[in-house]
Amino acid sequence: MTAVHLVILGRQGSGKGTQAARLVEAYSPIHVSTGDMLRAAVADGTELGRRAGALMDAGDLVGDDLINGIVAERLARSDVAEHGFLLDGYPRTPDQATAMEGFLSEAGTTLDGAVILEVPVDEVTARMLARGRVDDTEEAIRRRLDLYESETAPLLAWFADRGLLEVVDGMGDEDVVFGRLSTVIDARLSLSDAS
């Protein structure tokens, strides 16, 4: 099977976690989630965890050099060469995207595409409120979504400029959304196979 090289994007509450897990099942890429890697480093009390933990608690981004290094190192492992990757939570800024482009090209790989699950703000707010978590006040949700918007908008432009962006409607049944995702991914894979 062709190895996929993908980025998945989506607001909190967009169903990104669910769909990422389904993509891993269907296409078998290595799931590279920077949030998960950083949380594991914090839990293990490593040097990286100590450097990243305070920034994460404050809701700030971890520095580009640090995060680019972690991802470059992970993508250089042999399982990724064999199975491809699904990047989740990275890149977060155009600078990170440019760094990614650099180390992928050094490894002789290119991205097949960046898929964004599009779910309107009103809908993700309703979904998060319905979870009823204590940190999910309407005010806190709005702040996190605003931050996502300001972070992500320039990144979407970066992918779009390179013809890599696929906007996928994330509304509706989980199976239906997965069907839309796999349709655009399969189309991209057949394009890159043909070239």
| Residues found near ligand AMP in the complex (CB under 6 A) | 34-35, 38, 55-56, 59-62, 67, 89-90, 92, 96
Q: Between residues 5 and 92, which has the closer beta carbon with respect to ligand AMP?
A: 92
Q: How far apart, in whole angstroms, are the C-alpha atoms of residue 5 and residue 153? A: 22
Q: How far is the CB of 134 from ligand AMP (least distance, A)?
A: 18
Tokens of 60: 């700030």
Is 92 a known active-site residue? yes
Spell out the residues 6+ positions from residue 184 whose beta carbon is closer than 8 angstroms to its own. 113, 115, 166, 168
Residue 4 phi, psi (nearest 5): -95, 150
Q: How far apart, in whole angstroms, are the C-alpha atoms of residue 69 and residue 64? A: 8
Is 50 a known active-site residue? no
Catalytic residue among 133, 143, 162, 180: 133
Neighbours of 193 (CB within 10 A): 8
Q: How far is the CB of 186 from ligand AMP (least distance, A)?
A: 26
Q: Between residues 70 and 189, which has the closer beta carbon with respect to ligand AMP?
A: 70
Q: How far apart, in whole angstroms, are the C-alpha atoms of residue 187 and residue 166? A: 11
Strand partners of residue 86: 6, 31
Catalytic residue among 16, 51, 74, 143: 16
Q: Between residues 14 and 96, which has the closer beta carbon with respect to ligand AMP?
A: 96
Catalytic residue among 11, 144, 180, 188: 144
Is 11 a known active-site residue? no
Q: How far is the CB of 69 from ligand AMP (least distance, A)?
A: 11
Phi-psi region of 91 (alpha: psi -120 to 50; beta: other; left: phi over 0): beta
Residue number, nearest CB to ligand AMP: 35
Catalytic residue among 22, 39, 51, 127: 127
Q: Between residues 57 and 173, which has the closer beta carbon with respect to ligand AMP?
A: 57
Q: How far is the CB of 89 from ligand AMP (least distance, A)?
A: 3
Neighbours of 180 (CB within 10 A): 18
Residues marked as catalytic: 16, 92, 127, 133, 144
